[in-house]
Amino acid sequence: MRYLITGGSGFIGSNFIHYLFEKYHDVHVTNLDKLTYAGNPANLKKFEANPQYKFVKGDIADAKLVDELMKDVDFVVNFAAETHVDRSITGPSEFIQTNVVGLHTLLDAATQHKKRLHHISTDEVFGDLPLGTGQKFTEHSTYFPSSPYSASKAAGDHLLHAYSRTYGLDATITNCSNNYGPYQFPEKLIPKTIVNALRDKPVPVYAQGRNVRDWIHVKDHCKAIDMVLQTGRTGETYLVGGNCEKANLEVVRQILNLLGKPETLIQLVPDRPGHDLRYAIDSSKIERELAFKRDYEFEKGLAETVEWYKQNQEWWQPLVDRLEKGL
């Protein structure tokens, strides 16, 4: 099978490429990535000399390039996006450009070449849920995004559904909850906490740390994407969650505990505008229709992740240096 993976040098995309090469022998992957600050060739170092892997530096909004790359593939899987909510608040334009205009370019090319496309989206398109309730997002939840990031992802989802209905594009979407695991850029909560704690630096937590996220290991997310690609129904959305709701403060405490670091490192900082309170996903559709099951339980997955960052300082140190220089 031949895959065009877009945004494959980021966190989830690179884990997906590892997943494909570990699971299948006959895969050929072309990775189209713009290498923004979040894209990191080191995530895929192990495949550099692999003849079944090809890297192309470029933008998903480049219609000519996308058209060329799409000719010879069976599957297109789009991970390319601007993804950091805080950055979308200070500079939304790039989010609209990649997450809406860029996706639109992929949809046009996939329609023209009659390709099977899968798009990676987020539960953040649904806004948030009240704290302390059992409510969960389902495939029927109303779109109600809070941040420029989630609004741009919501716009992308709507465009994809429109292409599927209007032009018959063979496409699916997964809306997933918060991922954790190796190769996550150290501006996101879990890796940032780990690398700050390892260096005995303060660990910032928004407000009182009561906001709740539903955590899933990135490898379980990759497994779900693969299942939807192989056996999902075209035109459908599948929600993928970890069934693991945790308040941010609880996650930070667990990490400090795993590292043997004091809770005095925690620094409560003023909340960000529009901060979603709680996410929780009902994954019963993908479990029922595609027999999806998670392999990771949070405590084990988190301990492995902490260990990975401990063992891979040469991976994260240059990224932290860049972040601290404001690049």
Active-site residue set: 123-124, 149
* C-alpha–C-alpha distance, residues 280 and 132, integer Å: 11
Residue nearest to ligand NAD (CB): 10
Binding part of the chain for ligand NAD, among 55-63, 105-113, 230-238, 295-303 by CB under 6 A, reads: 55-63
* Of residues 174 and 265, the one with the C-beta less far from ligand NAD: 174
Are 5 and 77 spatial neighbours (Cβ–Cβ below 8 Å)?
yes
**Stretch touching ligand NAD by CB under 6 A, among 58-66, 136-144, 274-282, 289-297:** 58-66
Stretch that binds ligand NAD, among 7-15, 140-148, 274-282, 312-320 (CB under 6 A): 7-15
Contact 167/111 with Cβ under 8 angstroms?
yes
Q: Please select the residue that binds ligand NAD; options are 120, 129, 195, 265, rule is CB under 6 A.
A: 120
Q: Out of 17, 19, 20, 34, point to the residue binding ligand NAD (CB under 6 A).
A: 34
How far CA 268 is from CA of 3, 44, 146, 201, 207, in Å, comes to: 43, 35, 22, 13, 6
Task: Report the residue number, 118 or 261, with the smaller CB distance to ligand NAD.
Answer: 118
Considering only 4, 5, 18, 33, the residue that binds ligand NAD (CB under 6 A) is 33
Eight-class DSSP state of 137 = B
Backbone torsion region of residue 245, taken as left when φ is above 0, otherwise alpha when ψ lies between -120 and 50, otherwise beta: beta
Q: Does 243 bind ligand NAD (CB under 6 A)?
A: no
DSSP 8-state code for residue 270: P
Q: Quickly count helices (H) and strands (E) in the chain.
A: 12, 12
Residue 131 interacts with ligand NAD (CB under 6 A): yes or no: no
Residues in Cβ contact with 173 at an 8 Å cutoff, skipping those fewer than 6 apart: 118, 119, 120, 121, 157, 160, 161, 236, 237, 238
Task: Pick the binder of ligand NAD from 176, 195, 205, 255 (CB under 6 A).
Answer: 176
Select the residue interacting with ligand NAD from 179, 196, 237, 254 (CB under 6 A): 179
List contacts with ligand NAD (CB under 6 A): 6-7, 9-13, 32-36, 38-39, 59-61, 79-83, 98, 102, 120, 122, 153, 176, 178-179, 185
